[in-house]
Copies of this chain bind each other. A is one copy, B any other.
Amino acid sequence: MSKKKGRKVKYLVGVDVGGSKIMAGVFTHDLKQLHSVKIDTWVHRGPDAVLQRIIDCAKDAITGAGLKLSDVAAIGVGTPGIVNPKAGTVVVAPNLRWENFNLRSRLVKAFRRPVVIGNDCTTAMEGIYEVELRKKPRNALGMFMGTGLGGALVLGGEVYSGMGSIAGEVGHMVVERTGPRCGCGSQGCFEVFSSRTGIANRMRAKLQNGDASMLKELLAQDQKEPGTLRSEHLHDAIKQGDQLAERMVRDAAEYTGLAVASLINLLSPEVVVLGGGLIGALHEQIMPIVHDQVRSHALLRFLKEPKVFATKLGDRAGIVGAAVLARRAATGH
């Protein structure tokens, strides 16, 4: 480990806040992971409880790495929703029940260390770009399928943020004009089909219409306590021959493939990388369908075929990316 300008070596903390789980990792300056902790988010306990869970999770990770808070150079946090990184606020995160939530100042108060926050997908993409995309493509697309469905764009070698800080809202591209209502107020959004929440909602609707599934009880429980149904449950049900789960995951994969193909036609990226909990647990089911859809719908006769793959970082993409943000905050680059 290198010492810079005689200063003591400091460590980075990356936190990834999800609708179901919070994960925190402690990293060296060159992004070697020392320790990580994963706990439930417990969204149903309310906004302040979620904040406390984030603090607890990060502290556990630091302690677990055998370090003290004073050893930490900076803390990065990726959170779902619309984030204003400059102001340090979460404008709105329906999955966490946050609105105009002053996340950074509250974390600074708790940790007395520099804190930087970002959108969860953008942050995961920073991690993937830094450690997995070694060729540093100029243009790349990230798509993250979990509780919700988000995206991130790298354009011209930089994470793209549009006019505000919410570009890359892949989940709210409309893929079926007459599709089901989405929580955003629109209808037929991609997220309605291809997020875990969307799959759960569609399965519940099918159960009401007389379909059967071994996940029936879990789905009922999930409605009261969102996040109860995990991607792993869908995976196990499919392995055990559950046809409804299989059909809904196939639908999710088909829409994902369509969206990927559309975005290839639109942006001609070099790389499309998929991540998030659904991909982590179900990439064997999902990726072949995505590849099929890309072959049928992307203009591959005319454009260079991009690499389309699932991130090998799995559910670590978020904490690695958050550590990248923390390193940037600590070192200025």
Residues in chain A within 8 A of chain B (CB atoms): 82, 91-92, 138-139, 151, 153, 155-156, 160-164, 166-170, 172-177, 184-187, 254-255, 258, 261-263, 265-270, 296-299, 301-304, 306
Contact = CB atoms under 8 A, between A and B. Distances in A.
A146 B25 CA distance: 53
Contact of A304 (B138, B156, B163, B254): B163
A299 B166 contact: yes
A185 B303 CA distance: 14
A155 B187 CA distance: 28
Nearest to A171: B265
* Copies of this protein in the complex: 2
Query: Which residue of A164, A172, A298 has the most chain B CB atoms within 10 A of its CB atom?
Result: A172
Given A186-B297, A268-B162, A173 B304 contact: no
A116 B184 CA distance: 45
A92 B176 CA distance: 30
Contact of A302 (B91, B261, B297): B91
Contacts of A269: 162-163
Given A163-B270, A176-B177, 11 more contacts: A82-B303, A91-B302, A155-B155, A162-B267, A162-B303, A169-B265, A175-B175, A176-B176, A177-B255, A177-B258, A186-B261
A163 B268 contact: yes
A116 to B, nearest CB: 21
A297 B166 contact: no
Nearest to A293: B174
A81 to B, nearest CB: 9
